[in-house]
A and B are shown apart, each in its own frame.
Chain A
Amino acid sequence: MRIYALAVYAFLYFPIGVIALFSLNAGRHASQFQGFSTQWYGKALANPFVMDALKTSLTVALVSALLASLFGTMAALALQSVKGRTRVFFDALIYIAVMVPGIVIGIATLIALVTVFNWLNPILEIIWPIADQAPKLSMGFGSLIAAHGLFTMALVVIIVRARIAGMDRSLIEASADLYATPFGTFRQVTLPQIFPGILAGFLLSFTFSFDDFIIAFFVAGSETTLPIYVFSSIRRGVTPEINAIGTMVLGASLAILILAQTILQRGRKQAGGSAP
């Protein structure tokens, strides 16, 4: 059993080892190893387009994950008290949002938005008060955030709803019996119970958006996210720079995960210690 687990971990980490090894390649061609050097790390960090792409990816991931967590949680809370047709309609929407492949979402968003923008832009030009200053709608940050937010919001609704279903209802009743305001009950009873769900939803949403290539490929317009940059570079023939970027992203996420885990565990210990 242990040997089997070891083998699976080897399978998972061997390619990552290859990436890390080639990121230390001194030569230009990724397929020929020409001695060790850390120069590509410096080059990647000094490359303004890598940094720009990273900034775009982080912004899009952060904004779309925040909006998805907020609106998704609101919808999950409201859906508790909704029955009948609205409920069925929402369930169907969430089901479809989760099930339709990313590539179809990307394509559909592209052609729908391009078509709508082609209608709206001439109208905007006519009705805009200052001549020649009318804003021109186009694909970019907005479409990226909106398209990423769609899938992740559905995810948040599902996760938070599961959390609400598993919640201890007697506490809410008790709180109401003690004359707490509905908002007070929400803040002090409901929110702490569903918070881990919201956090999990946020983290998943962030990861999804940060790692997404296929939707962004269609809807990014002139923006370049990190995966798009990497894809375009790979077609140019990979330099060890790309491997260096991959290794750094991996290192950073590992550090964040371990940090989060340590904080969580310490928090749990403290909570455990102070409990009566």
Chain B
Amino acid sequence: MTDHNDTITREKFMAELWRYKRGSVTRRHFLGVTGLGTATAVLGAAMPGLMPRPAWSQANIGDRVILATWPNYHEPTNFEAFTEATGAAVQVNVFGSNEEMLAKLQAGGSGWDVFVPTNYTITTYVDEGLIEPIDVSRLPNYDASAFDARFASPGTVNDTLYAVSKNWGTTGYAINTAKNGDVTPTTWKEFWDMTMTNFSGRTMVHDYQLTTIGNALKYFGYSFNSVDANELADAEKLLLDAKPHLFAINSDYQPSMRSGDAWMTMCWTGDGKQLNTDIPEIKYVLGKEGGELWSDFYAIPKGAPHMDAAYALIDFLLTPENNAKEALFHGYPVADARTNALLPAELLNDPIIYPAADLLSALEFGAAATLTDPNRAELLARFKSA
């Protein structure tokens, strides 16, 4: 590394990172200024000697790997680095709901090598025989003891490891406070009431039964995971009342929030962080009543066509240095202590990413029953087709 690169401060690094993300500087400039370019090159060259031969540098893992994941959830340059290191190009397929992933896998022949299921869905994948057990020996950079058990344990079903922790996060909402007299609301009740009054025509909800129905249930103070017929009926009535006031029903809300078409949207942690960084008047809110706390995993579907490449990709992305770059890009918290040690304090103290304890304790993990419950699926479909 050159002297000039050694002197970069943490603040400067973050500033450059966000400049790069906004597109005002090129990747080459960013990598040059921050020294990451040389660092990556040096690391790449040094790795095989330093470590017990990482899976992703094994010879001949094929020329491709297919990843099914969520929107805005990966650092693109990490994929480029993976391709450079292994020769396997990464194809990213983006999904809007866990239901959609499950449907694709149930219909057979998805062709995926790695997918990113959420905590509450893993038991269903195991029951349906759609998921491969993870062979930890093929993930040399994975260290189970470094992970916060609260977020990593749903990956183990019947004492078998099926999925390794990717990120965790919350589901709240993002609001453009400039359109609300700079007032930041604090509850789900306000979210729904504003949708039907001063934010009419400007609110978005997810195309996803768990969060859209769950957060409507929260309006009444019911459990986020309720499958009780009467409680669901209340939620349905609220959703149907709100529908004419919605801007859209779509899980990919960033473009509309950025363009100013939408002012408020149900939102996941990282999207909230990304929006808030670029447009400070967009705030991320966790409803006081509660809502969803979740953790996502890397897993391998049964019969994945490029198994070696799948392990290599997971191992590469979970390597703390790479995982830290992921977190800097997407703004979702990581359950891996090794990765957190590499992250700047600003990120670890960020109230969007690590909410206050009292807000966090009100949240619930999604329940497996919601995924297969026919009434919740049908309720969302009725809401959409109404």
Contact = CB atoms under 8 A, between A and B. Distances in A.
Touch between A and B in complex, CB under 8 Å? yes
Given A48-B64, A49-B91, A237 B108 contact: no
A139 B106 CA distance: 13
A80 interface: no
A236 B91 contact: no
B89 A48 contact: yes
Interface stretch (B48-56, B92-100, B198-206, B230-238): B92-100
A268 interface: no
Given A31-B258, A31-B259, A48-B64, A222 B93 contact: no
Interface in B104-146: 107-112
B300 to A, nearest CB: 14
Interface in B12-56: 23
A114 B254 CA distance: 36
B71 interface: yes
Contacts of A118: 108
Contacts of A266: none
> Does more than half of chain A's interface fall in helix, strand or loop, or is it mixed?
loop
A215 to B, nearest CB: 14
A232 B92 CA distance: 9
Interface string A240-263: 000000000000000000000000
A235 interface: yes
Contacts of A28: 23
Interface size class of B (residues with CB under 8 A): 20 to 34
A167 to B, nearest CB: 45
Interface string B65-93: 01000011000000000000000010111
Interface string A13-40: 0000000000000111111101000000
Contact of B110 (A30, A31, A34, A222): A222
Nearest to B94: A236
Nearest to B66: A222
A147 interface: no
B108 A223 contact: no
B23 A27 contact: yes
A31 B252 contact: no
Nearest to A32: B258
Given A31-B255, A48-B89, A237 B109 contact: no
Contact of A222 (B23, B92, B109, B255): B109
Interface in A120-171: 138-140
Contacts of B355: none
Contact of B108 (A26, A31, A114, A232): A114
A221 interface: yes
Contacts of A208: none
A226 interface: no
Contacts of A221: 108-111
A29 B94 contact: no
Nearest to B71: A236
A232 B93 contact: yes
Given A221-B108, A223-B111, 5 more contacts: A140-B109, A224-B91, A232-B93, A235-B71, A237-B252
12 contacts: A28-B23, A31-B258, A114-B108, A118-B108, A138-B108, A140-B109, A221-B108, A232-B94, A235-B71, A235-B96, A236-B252, A237-B252
